[in-house]
């Protein structure tokens, strides 16, 4: 069985970071080792959350793992709580990356034009440094802007702008960029009944290829969907899917999870019911992983 390690916080209630990465990647048939970076009572969109920093545990865990000789098919970093943790991730990647290991960095720290509580533009620069180590980075538009130190443009941009962003992001050093949350304004938008689309642009710095994937934009957005996206992407890549198939599956699973959530009258507002969408994930992964094996 393939094995990955994911490094992010435990938000005890909130359906994000490790409480989504662990069940999702496991359900995708991949062993999921974890390093928790912090324990919070909830994610940071709740008021009054507790926060216990676990930075001092990370080094001893790595030392023990080195002695045991553990290897990983992928290293996936998510929400990191301090500069020191970013430094430790540089070390972890150096020490545990093998020739076939995929390194996925989700620079999880901002959305909708704003940094999450506790983060600063300097932190975004340090995260940009970690992106240099990655095979694949998965920022949203806000994270991309903070890492590049450019103003956030939330709407009204065109294809040329996104292509420029992709290339600048690749300039941070990652081989492939998957940029999330892209929405183009079209004339059709003013027509009643035309579903709006949101999607992904990806750039392969090794062959210069740019590709796109759009899906229906749901009326409501939820916390934790970025973590769900990155988790499915990681699981799918390790199961042998191409990057294009992996981000399409990840995007579709997020949409399915939101649909399941809002199908209930009194739905949770702090996170999505990804659990109810598992049958779709497992079914599609099984058929696509089978196809990938023979392609």
Using CB under 6 A, list all residues that contact ligand PXL: 9, 11, 16-17, 40, 43-45, 79, 108, 116, 223-224, 226-227
Instruction: With residue 53 as reference, give the H or E element that holds it.
Output: strand 51-53
Closest approach, Cβ 143 to ligand PXL, in A, equals 11
Give the 3-state secondary structure of residue 19.
helix
Which residue's CB is nearer to ligand PXL, number 35 or number 170?
35
Environment class of 99 (CB within 10 Å of its CB; exposed 0-12, middle 13-18, buried 19+): exposed
Closest approach, Cβ 269 to ligand PXL, in A, equals 13
How many Cβ atoms from other residues are within 10 Å of residue 48's Cβ? 6
Which residue's CB is nearer to ligand PXL, number 226 or number 239?
226
Closest approach, Cβ 294 to ligand PXL, in A, equals 36
Which residue's CB is nearer to ligand PXL, number 18 or number 241?
18
Which residue's CB is nearer to ligand PXL, number 17 or number 176?
17
Which residue's CB is nearer to ligand PXL, number 115 or number 280?
115
Whether residue 219 contacts residue 196, with contact meaning beta carbons closer than 8 Å, is answered with no
Can you tell me the distance from the alpha carbon of 293 to that of 295, in angstroms, rounded to the nearest whole number? 6
What the block records as the tokens of 39 is: 């324990």
CA atoms within 13 A on the CB side of 5: 20
Closest approach, Cβ 19 to ligand PXL, in A, equals 10
One DSSP character per residue, 254-274 reads: HHHHHHHHHTSTT--SSS--G
Closest approach, Cβ 44 to ligand PXL, in A, equals 3
Alpha helix (H) residue ranges in 39-82: 55-68
């Amino acid at each position: 069985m393939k094995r990955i390690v994911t490094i992010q916080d435990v938000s005890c209630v909130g359906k994000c970071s490790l409480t989504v990465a662990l069940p999702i990647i496991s359900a995708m048939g991949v062993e999921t080792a974890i390093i928790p970076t912090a324990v919070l009572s909830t994610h940071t969109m709740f008021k009054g959350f507790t926060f216990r920093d676990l930075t001092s545990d990370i080094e001893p865990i790595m030392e023990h793992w080195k002695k045991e000789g553990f290897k990983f098919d992928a290293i996936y970093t998510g929400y990191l709580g301090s500069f020191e943790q970013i430094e430790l991730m540089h070390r972890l990647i150096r020490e545990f990356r093998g020739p076939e290991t995929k390194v996925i960095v989700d620079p999880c720290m901002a959305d909708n034009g704003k940094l999450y509580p506790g983060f600063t533009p300097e932190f975004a620069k340090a995260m940009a440094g970690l992106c240099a180590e990655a095979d694949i980075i998965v920022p949203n538009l806000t994270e991309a802007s903070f890492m590049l130190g450019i103003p956030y443009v939330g709407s009204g941009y065109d294809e040329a702008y996104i292509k420029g962003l992709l290339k600048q992001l690749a300039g941070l050093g990652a081989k492939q960029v998957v940029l999330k949350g892209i929405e183009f304004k079209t004339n059709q938008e003013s027509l009643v009944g035309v579903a709006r689309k949101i999607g992904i642009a990806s750039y392969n710095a090794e062959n210069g290829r740019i590709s796109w994937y759009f899906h229906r934009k749901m009326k409501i957005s939820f916390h934790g969907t970025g973590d769900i996206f990155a988790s499915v992407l990681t699981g799918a890549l390790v199961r042998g899917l191409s990057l294009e198939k992996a981000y399409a599956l990840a995007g579709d699973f997020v949409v399915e999870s939101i649909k399941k959530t809002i199908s209930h009258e009194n739905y949770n507002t702090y996170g999505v019911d990804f659990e109810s969408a598992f049958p779709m994930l497992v079914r599609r992964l099984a058929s696509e992983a089978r196809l990938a094996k023979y392609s």
